[in-house]
Amino acid sequence: MGSTPAHGPRLGVWIIGARGSVATTVVVGAAAVAAGLAPPVGCVTELPDFRDAGLTPLGDLVFGGCDITGIPLAKRAEQLVAAGVVPADLPASLQRALAAADREIRPGVGAAAGSQAPQAAAIAGQLADFRERHGLDRVVVVNLASTAPQPDPHPAFTDLAALRAALAGPDPVLPPHALYAYAALGAGCGYVDFTPSGAMRLPALDELARSIGVPYTGNDGKTGETLVRSALAPMFAHRALRVRAWFGTNLLGGGDGATLADPSAAASKNASKARSLTELLPDPVEGQVHIDEVPALGDWKTAWDHIAFDGFLGVRMTMQFTWQGCDSALAAPLVLDLVRLLGRAMARGAVGVQPQFAFFFKDPMGAREHRLVPQYERLLAWTRTPL
């Protein structure tokens, strides 16, 4: 990890929710691929298309972050072995990488009474400390915390000055995940909203990113049902087939299912799923998405979609698909892609929302293109602009 290649300066990755399944898979996976112990399957930025994009090598990423639990990463990795997510031999081979990341994980800040300005300062301090001790050129903060409900509207959300004043006041203003985004941007870090927190949809935070001069992207990583929809729906639209109904059922094991059994969190997720279909199809479509928590599925998820459509002369036809995937294994490589790409955006001096990363998100900020292949082509074109 010592050498710094020309186009790959040292990049810090600071994860909110750093002991979760996805985060653990991120740390294990980056180390395994860098060490040649696993092929870079699932990692978009390791495709030949990205060879000359000047991205930080996976082995040069430095991991840290925060979490409200204290279970060691090595133990979390063993749990992922038992769950079939991580190959049995990896944790032992990667002890050093896991221990290094473990040392850089701080206790997370939760919802609490009192003024939030000191909390924000503490987080910013952790980030500055992380950067300095490792001599990092840049730090990207990634939100991998559980899906959070949308915060209730607040006048301070629309204006940065108002937000700063409110944070200095006696009462909490921002939900925890948005406080992290506030602190991260303020500390000059890039920010990736990978879980559907909606924090970066607050105008005050966008204003902050622009005033500080840092880029951000989001939100809600596109890893399963919506990924397939963004590949399939253009087929119906471009073939002039009239989709009448598009229903989906998602069976989720693990933590994500449990979180989404809470209707207000699910609402956040469902909104981004529905938005996607509306953008992809020309006509209104009957449809609903169910999310069920199924602990028996472990880290796996199953999505089933039923599509009823009309063909020529109104003939009714149907299509269905089933997707059985491992959530952490689908999400983790995208996190690696995004931190490397946002690192490149920072190197290019990019500021504010970065729509060229829409390819990775259910509900891409700053972009209206939801079709998967054009999203890919746009991403690729951007990586070919000079650094």
Q: Least distance (Å) from its own copies to the CB of residue 58?
A: 12
Nearer to its own copies, 210 or 306 (CB): 306
Q: Are 14 and 301 in contact (CB under 8 A)?
A: no
Nearer to its own copies, 197 or 302 (CB): 302
Q: Least distance (Å) from its own copies to the CB of residue 39?
A: 7
Q: Least distance (Å) from its own copies to the CB of residue 181?
A: 26
Nearer to its own copies, 166 or 341 (CB): 341
Q: Least distance (Å) from its own copies to the CB of residue 43?
A: 5
Nearer to its own copies, 322 or 385 (CB): 322
Q: Least distance (Å) from its own copies to the CB of residue 290?
A: 5
| 61 strand-pairing partners | 11
Nearer to its own copies, 43 or 178 (CB): 43
Structure tokens at 281: 């199809």
Q: Are 58 and 8 in contact (CB under 8 A)?
A: no
Q: Least distance (Å) from its own copies to the CB of residue 179?
A: 30
Cis peptide before 219 (omega within 30 of 0): yes
Nearer to its own copies, 2 or 312 (CB): 312
Nearer to its own copies, 38 or 128 (CB): 38
Q: Helix 372-383 vs helix 327-347: angle between axes, to the nearest 10 degrees?
A: 40
Nearer to its own copies, 164 or 306 (CB): 306
Q: Least distance (Å) from its own copies to the CB of residue 347?
A: 23
Distances (CA, A) of 179 to 124, 151, 204: 10, 12, 12
Alpha-carbon gap, residue 224 to 252, rounded angstroms: 11
Q: Least distance (Å) from its own copies to the CB of residue 373?
A: 4
Nearer to its own copies, 75 or 154 (CB): 75
Q: Least distance (Å) from its own copies to the CB of residue 49?
A: 9
